[in-house]
Amino acid sequence: MPPKDTIVAIATGDCQGAIGIVRVSGPSAYWLGEKLTGRRLPDRRAVFSVFRSIKGEPLDEGLALFFRGPRSFTGEDSLELQGHGGRAAPRALLQACLDASSPTHPIRLAYAGEFTQRAFLNDRLDLVQAEAVADIIESQSSRSLKAAVRSLAGLFSETIHHLQAQLVDFRVLVEAHLDFSDEDIDGLELEQSLAQRMESVFRGVDDVLRSVESGLRLKEGCRVVLLGSPNAGKSSLMNALSQDEVAIVSDQPGTTRDRLTEELSVQGVHFLLTDTAGLRASAEHVEQLGIERSWQSLKTADLVLFVEDIQTLGDNKGLFKECQQNAAEGTEVWRVVNKWDLKPDFSLNPKVQQVPCFCVSARTGQGLDALTQAIISFATKDQAEGASLFSARQRHLEALLRARGQLTEAQTYLRLDSLELLAEHLRLAQDELGEILGRRTSDDLLGDIFSRFCIGK
Ligand SMILES: Nc1nc2c(ncn2[C@@H]2O[C@H](COP(=O)(O)OP(=O)(O)OP(=O)(O)O)[C@@H](O)[C@H]2O)c(=O)[nH]1
Ligand SMILES: [Mg+2]
């Protein structure tokens, strides 16, 4: 069998940092380290050295750090060469590594995510943890970072293992009954015991589903959409909330023609704030296209802020109702009365409001703090500090929903007293959970997951 490839990449990205790290993993890592530094490299101890090309030219100097497998990130022999940053120095070092490649020491550039993929294949990480590595790098807010770190530490994996263990216990009980069905077992007692377990497994899966849903919202950002009549001040609010002049504001109704989305991080919470074209029956073709997009935004929003001009409050009742009716299930629609500065004495009676309602002035900033705080509370309502928050992916959600589907089937067979089929669906539910951790995962899916990483990770 030919020797396994040793992979190499710049781990610090293509940027102007002070330090640049070239990372190496595979059976030739030690050989390569010795070749470039001319020194013996003890395990896990930094050695200062001049890095030289294969021809012996000095390229840079810095620290060489060798990790003997399996005690390394990838589980293989690994090497880090920490030299100067910028573009040229790390690239020269990378090239020197590639130049050293030979049939006995094949060395090549790593694919995206290949270091983490090797860690996964060598059982250093499960799939959830491998994904968490990418999520840490991509984190946009302190909360999503915290969630990703919790996943990397194995907290999400533990939760899934725990659910699987519950399913195993359940299956053991069912199988035992199948094996000894002729013997005298109290039928009623068994039925109750099985029903209790069923309920507890459902509860467990539903708890994790909720965490995953809020984790997804955290990762992708809470989608807040500004909707309302033309000239209500949606674009002005967009600018005020994002503290930037991102949208054009004018006193001409129909100024905004297209959706505009800004990513914001407020108090550690990640948002996607969207400004839309004002809703009205417009004959003009381009504006009409924009208005269609406004209605589409309603379908994918987590929270809709229905913006109204304080001077024309009565005119918007029908439109507000229409927004509520067209919003997706679970989407909240709040009222935001804008231009408070024009009627400073106006106040809302919270008792008669059926939805949360805020008075603000995009111009003076009045009322914006209260609105911002309410949005943050909404976005984090099921993410209480320290709660079971994980960095989740759509893939996890789908597997959990499939597992839940199998449990629903199992429940049907429990009611029909068809224990073989009950056991079978419990097994299938367990398999679906296993997929989250990367058991039974197809090569295609693995390729897809790791290819989204950056090179050097
Ligand atoms: N006095 C006052 N005027 C405001 C306030 N907010 C917005 N305006 C004015 O209202 C007009 C419309 O503002 P926009 O932000 O463009 O309104 P819009 O809802 O985005 O309008 P379209 O894009 O046409 O749908 C502009 O002249 C703004 O200066 C406010 O809080 N107070
Ligand atoms: Mg606008």
- Flag whether 323 is in a domain: yes
- CA-nearest residue for atom 1, ligand 1, is 339
- Flag whether 120 is in a domain: no
Pair 203, 229 in one domain: no
Among the bound ligands, the one closest to the CA of 260: 2
Report the 10 Å Cβ neighbour count for 156: 30
**Exposed, middle or buried: residue 151 (CB in 10 Å: 0-12, 13-18, 19+)?**
buried
Pair 410, 306 in one domain: no
Q: Output b/e per residue, 26-36; b: 16+ Cβ within 10 A.
A: bebbbbbbebb
Report the 10 Å Cβ neighbour count for 244: 11
Domain tally, the chain: 3
- Flag whether 286 is in a domain: yes
Domain C-terminal end among 53, 80, 110? 110
User: Per-residue pLDDT tens for 135-169?
Assistant: 888 887 777 788 889 899 899 999 999 999 999 98
**Exposed, middle or buried: residue 64 (CB in 10 Å: 0-12, 13-18, 19+)?**
buried
Which stretches of 364-405 are assigned E, i.e. beta strand? none
CATH number of the CATH domain containing 204? 1.20.120.430
What separation in Å is there between the alpha carbon of 327 and the centre of ligand 2? 21
- Flag whether 103 is in a domain: yes
Pair 141, 229 in one domain: no
What separation in Å is there between the alpha carbon of 231 and the centre of ligand 2? 7
Query: Residue 89 is encoded by which pair of tokens?
Result: 């120095």
- Flag whether 385 is in a domain: no
- Flag whether 288 is in a domain: yes
Atom of ligand 1 nearest to the CA of 362: 31
Ligand 1 pocket test: which of 249, 291, 310, 339 has the largest number of ligand atoms within 8 Å of its C-beta? 249
Atom of ligand 1 nearest to the CA of 256: 23
Say what the pLDDT of residue 198 is.
93
Identify any residues that bridge with 178 across adjacent strands, giving them in sequence order.
none
Q: How far apart are CA 140 and CA 148, in angstroms?
A: 11
Pair 157, 100 in one domain: no
List of residues 6+ apart from 48 with CB closer than 8 A: 61, 62, 63
User: Per-residue pLDDT tens for 363-381?
Assistant: 999 999 999 999 998 887 7
Among the bound ligands, the one closest to the CA of 232: 1
CATH number of the CATH domain containing 31? 3.30.1360.120
Pair 398, 359 in one domain: no
- CA-nearest residue for atom 30, ligand 1, is 339
Say what the pLDDT of residue 441 is.
64
Say what the pLDDT of residue 454 is.
74
Among the bound ligands, the one closest to the CA of 279: 1
- Domain coverage including residue 261: 221-379
Pair 239, 341 in one domain: yes
Q: How far apart are CA 392 and CA 386, in angstroms?
A: 16
456 lines ligand 1 (CB under 6 A): no
137 lines ligand 1 (CB under 6 A): no
- Flag whether 127 is in a domain: no
Pair 92, 39 in one domain: yes
In order along the chain (457 residues), what is the average pLDDT of each group of 10 residues?
Answer: 86 86 97 96 96 94 96 97 94 96 96 93 92 86 82 91 92 80 62 88 91 79 93 96 92 92 86 94 86 91 95 91 88 95 89 88 96 90 60 88 95 89 93 87 72 76
What separation in Å is there between the alpha carbon of 305 and the centre of ligand 1? 15
pTM metric for this prediction: 0.70
Q: How far apart are CA 87 and CA 106, in angstroms?
A: 25
Pair 251, 358 in one domain: yes
What separation in Å is there between the alpha carbon of 256 and the centre of ligand 2? 4
Q: How far apart are CA 137 and CA 157, in angstroms?
A: 19
Ligand 1 pocket test: which of 229, 235, 236, 256 has the largest number of ligand atoms within 8 Å of its C-beta? 236
294 lines ligand 1 (CB under 6 A): no
Answer yes or no: are the C-beta atoms of 122 and 76 closer than 8 Å.
yes
Domain C-terminal end among 347, 379, 411? 379
Nearest to 90 by CA among 37, 36, 14: 14
Domain C-terminal end among 328, 357, 379? 379
CATH number of the CATH domain containing 279? 3.40.50.300
Query: Residue 217 is encoded by which pair of tokens?
Result: 């919202």
- Flag whether 125 is in a domain: no
Pair 314, 335 in one domain: yes
Say what the pLDDT of residue 385 is.
47
Among the bound ligands, the one closest to the CA of 239: 1
Answer yes or no: are the C-beta atoms of 293 and 277 closer than 8 Å.
yes
- CA-nearest residue for atom 22, ligand 1, is 230
What separation in Å is there between the alpha carbon of 227 and the centre of ligand 2? 10
Say what the pLDDT of residue 386 is.
47
Distances from the Cα of 404 to the Cα of 67, 113, 319, 401, angstroms: 43, 31, 38, 5
What separation in Å is there between the alpha carbon of 328 and the centre of ligand 1? 27
Atom of ligand 1 nearest to the CA of 307: 19
Among the bound ligands, the one closest to the CA of 236: 1
Query: Residue 237 is encoded by which pair of tokens?
Result: 């609010």
Nearest to 225 by CA among 299, 324, 301, 290: 301
Pair 277, 411 in one domain: no
Pair 400, 327 in one domain: no
Pair 268, 207 in one domain: no
**Exposed, middle or buried: residue 106 (CB in 10 Å: 0-12, 13-18, 19+)?**
middle
